[in-house]
Each structure stands twice: as C-alpha cells, then as structure tokens.
C-alpha cells in the first residue's frame, strides 16, 4: 500500500469535509463495525471456512477496514509502516519462533 493510496483515502475524506466527525473514539467504533461487516460473510458458514461465494463482499469489507484504519492513523498522526514494524517487534518477543512455531496458542499459554 503505497503513499498514493494513503493520499487517495485522505483526499476522499477531505473532499467531503468529514474530518470534523472523525474523532478517535468514533473511528475505533467504525473500524469495529466494518470488521463485523467483514465477519458477517462467514455467519452460519459452519465448517465452510472460505465462503467462496462471498469473495467480492469479503474484498469490499476488508477494504473498508483498511480505509478506516488509514483514516484513524492519519487522525492520530501515526505513520502506518512505523506502527506496524514497531508492533511486529513486540509480537516477535511475545511469540518467539522457537516457542510459537506451528502453535496457535496465545502467548500467555506458550
């Protein structure tokens, strides 16, 4: 996801003068709501873990999660690549390869 895409998300918001509504609390609510719309594609899918027929909706809802996350990073003045690489370092300590390899346990149970 390069700078152009991040700028196009920012422009989408600015063109509509929406920053006035985009406080951190309501953005966090919005990311959670979009994540639910993504998850809704798997409601009642049972053991079908792929929901192939919903591929287009899954694509669109995942994009909405990313769009609001980019807006929140912008509102909070976070740099995307920076916060991701910082968190990967933290997760790397929580889940060291030698302990976490091939395990799905939470770090508290490793």
Q: In the window 32-71, what residues touch a copy of itself (CB under 8 A)?
A: 32-36, 38-51, 55, 58-60, 62-67, 69-70
Q: Which of residues 69-98 bind a copy of itself (CB under 8 A)?
A: 69-70, 72-73, 76, 78, 80-81, 83-88, 90-92, 95, 97
Question: How many positions of this chain bind a copy of itself (CB under 8 A)?
Answer: 75
CB 6 within 8 A of CB 36: no
Q: Closest approach of Cβ 99 to a copy of itself, in Å?
A: 9
SS3 110: coil
CB contact set of 9 (below 8 Å; sequence gap of 6+):
67, 70, 71, 74
Question: Contact between 4 and a copy of itself (CB under 8 A)?
Answer: yes
Question: Contact between 26 and a copy of itself (CB under 8 A)?
Answer: yes
Distance CA 23, CA 53 (A): 35
Distance CA 50, CA 39 (A): 12
Distance CA 86, CA 23 (A): 24
Question: Contact between 110 and a copy of itself (CB under 8 A)?
Answer: no
Q: Which of residues 6-25 bind a copy of itself (CB under 8 A)?
A: 6, 8-9, 12, 15-18, 20-21, 23-25
């Amino acid at each position: 996801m390069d700078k152009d895409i991040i700028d196009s998300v920012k422009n989408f918001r600015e063109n509509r003068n929406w920053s006035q509504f985009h406080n951190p609390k309501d953005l966090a609510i919005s990311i959670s709501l979009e994540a639910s719309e993504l998850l809704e594609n798997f409601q009642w899918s049972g053991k079908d873990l792929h929901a192939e027929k919903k591929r287009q909706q899954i694509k669109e809802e995942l994009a909405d999660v990313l769009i609001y996350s980019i807006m929140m990073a912008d509102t909070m003045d976070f740099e995307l690549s920076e916060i991701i690489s910082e968190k990967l370092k933290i997760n790397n300590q929580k889940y060291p390869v030698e302990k976490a390899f091939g395990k799905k346990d939470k770090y508290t149970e490793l």
